[in-house]
A = this chain, B = another copy of it.
């Protein structure tokens, strides 16, 4: 096997430092805005907006956990909290007795609609405004390359959001 250098060179170290900072500072900044203006955590926002992007505004908990990138256990707790606010309800999956849908209520949809603009404004301010179009494009493909290594099956969240509507028969 190739023996790789045991430490990063100067340039790598520079980039690694920048990336580490981004990894901690950006979520914190987004979280702050959402918490202040909408009383939502970044995770909660991601969850609600994920549901809202879906044709029937529902997702199996398993898929939602995948989409938000966390454990079912955490998701289960957060859903309970969101149910308390009346933003989400659980519905059994008629096709599979094991799985449960998280369904966005009207109130939940309204919450997303109300919170999205502020969040988008922040994302735009912090990420898109400072970058040129070309820079943006390269940034995206660089990140994609890293993600391919972390998660080679590239469990495309977009696909998740689109693929779940086939089996709708009833409800509402």
Interface, chain A (partner B; CB < 8 A): 4, 6-8, 11-12, 14-29, 46, 68-70, 116-117, 120-121, 123-131, 133, 135-140, 142-151, 157-158
Contacts and interface: CB of A to CB of B under 8 A. Distances in A.
B123 A22 contact: no
A150 B15 contact: no
6 contacts: A21-B147, A21-B157, A22-B23, A22-B143, A26-B146, A130-B146
A12 B136 contact: yes
Nearest to A127: B146
A109 to B, nearest CB: 16
A4 B124 contact: yes
B23 A26 contact: yes
Contacts of A135: 138, 142, 145
Contacts of A12: 124, 128, 136
A126 B149 contact: yes
A163 to B, nearest CB: 16
